[in-house]
Structure 1
Amino acid sequence: MNKNVRVYLHGLNRQEEDALLGFMQGSRFDPLVCRNQGPQPEPGSILIVGKSSWDTDRIKDLKKGNPATQVILAVFEDDLETIFQQKITQIDDYLILPIHAKRLIFALGKAEDRKAQFEDLIRTTSERDQTTRELSYFIKVGKALTSTLDTGSILDIIMEKTNELVKAEAGSVLLLDEEKNELYFELAEGEKKHDIKRFRLKVGEGIAGWVALHGEPIIVEDVATDKRFCHKIDDSLDFKTRSILCVPLRSKGKILGVLEVINKIDGKPFDRKDLDLVLTLVDQASIAIENSLLYKKATELAITDGLTQLYNFRYLHQSLDIEISRANRYHTQVSLIFLDLDYFKRVNDRFGHLVGSQLLVEIGTILKNHLRPMDVICRYGGDEFIAVLPETGPEAAFGTSERLRKTMEEYTFYSDTGEAFHLTASFGIASYPNHVKDKNELIQLADQSMYRVKEGTRNAVFMIGRQKNSLSMEIPEG
Structure 2
Amino acid sequence: MDFGMSSDTENKLQACLEIGKTLIATFKIQEILELIMTKISQLIPAHNWSLLLEDEATGELRFEIAVGIDKSEVKDIRIRPGEGIAGTVFSSGKPIFIPDVRKDGRFNHKVDQETGFVTRSIYCVPVQAKDRVLGVIEIINVNDVDSFEDRYLSILTILSDYVAIAVENSQLFAQVERLSITDEYTGHYNARFLHQNLKRFIAEANRSREGLTVAFVDIDDFKTIVDTHGHLAAGQVLKEVAGTIASRLSQKDVLIKYGGDEYVLIFRDKGRTEAVRQMDSIAQSIKESRYLISETPDLTLTASFGMAVYPEDAETEKDLLILADNAMFAAKRARKKARFRRE
TM range (shorter): 0.7 to 0.9
Question: Does 2:183 correspond to 1:305?
Answer: yes
Amino acid corresponding to residue 139 of structure 1 in structure 2: L
Distance 2:240 2:43 in 1: 49
Could you say which residue in structure 2 is the equivalent of 1:212?
A: 90
Cα distance change, pair 231–350 in 1 and its aligned pair in 2 (3 A):
farther
Cα distance change, pair 326–203 in 1 and its aligned pair in 2 (3 A):
same
Question: Does 2:135 correspond to 1:258?
Answer: yes
Amino acid corresponding to residue 247 of structure 1 in structure 2: V
Cα distance change, pair 359–144 in 1 and its aligned pair in 2 (3 A):
same
Amino acid corresponding to residue 263 of structure 1 in structure 2: I
Q: Percent identity?
A: 32
Could you say which residue in structure 1 is the equivalent of 2:314?
A: 436
SS of the residue 1:324 aligns to: helix
Cα distance change, pair 439–217 in 1 and its aligned pair in 2 (3 A):
same
Question: Does 2:48 correspond to 1:169?
Answer: yes
Contact preservation (8 Å) 1:174, 1:184: yes
Pairwise CA distance, 1:343: 5.1
Cα distance change, pair 201–288 in 1 and its aligned pair in 2 (3 A):
closer
Cα distance change, pair 260–372 in 1 and its aligned pair in 2 (3 A):
farther
Stretches of structure 1 lacking an aligned partner (at least 5 in a row): 1-124, 459-478
Q: Return the TM-score normalized by structure 1.
A: 0.56
Could you say which residue in structure 1 is the equivalent of 2:341?
A: none
Pairwise CA distance, 1:258: 0.8
Question: Could you give the per-residue CA deviations for residues 328-370 of structure 1, whole angstroms, max 9, x where no partner exists?
Answer: 6776653213222345556656766545434434554565666
Contact preservation (8 Å) 1:405, 1:424: yes
Stretches of structure 2 lacking an aligned partner (at least 5 in a row): 337-343
Pairwise CA distance, 1:442: 0.6
Distance 2:115 2:228 in 1: 59
Amino acid corresponding to residue 141 of structure 1 in structure 2: I
Cα distance change, pair 347–172 in 1 and its aligned pair in 2 (3 A):
farther
1:62-461 map, 5 Å? 128-166=6-44, 167-169=46-48, 171-177=50-56, 182-185=59-62, 187-189=64-66, 191=69, 193-194=71-72, 196-230=74-108, 240-251=118-129, 253-255=130-132, 257-261=134-138, 263-264=140-141, 271-272=148-149, 273-325=151-203, 327=205, 333-342=211-220, 344=222, 353-364=231-242, 371=249, 375-390=253-268, 392-405=270-283, 408=286, 415-416=293-294, 423=301, 425-456=303-334
Q: Return the TM-score normalized by structure 2.
A: 0.74
Q: How many residues align?
A: 330
Distance 1:428 1:346 in 2: 22
Could you say which residue in structure 1 is the equivalent of 2:340?
A: none
Pairwise CA distance, 1:217: 3.0
Distance 2:241 2:138 in 1: 44
Distance 1:406 1:323 in 2: 27
Pairwise CA distance, 1:188: 4.1
Distance 2:22 2:197 in 1: 30
Greater RCO (Cα-Cα under 8 Å, separation 6 or more): 2
Question: Could you give the per-residue CA deviations for residues 83-127 of structure 1, whole angstroms, max 9, x where no partner exists?
Answer: xxxxxxxxxxxxxxxxxxxxxxxxxxxxxxxxxxxxxxxxxx8x7
Distance 2:40 2:297 in 1: 57
Amino acid corresponding to residue 174 of structure 1 in structure 2: L
Contact preservation (8 Å) 1:374, 1:390: yes
Question: Could you give the per-residue CA deviations for residues 204-231 of structure 1, whole angstroms, max 9, x where no partner exists?
Answer: 4443333333333333444454454455
Amino acid corresponding to residue 88 of structure 2 in structure 1: W
Amino acid corresponding to residue 393 of structure 1 in structure 2: G
Q: Which has the larger radius of gyration?
A: 1
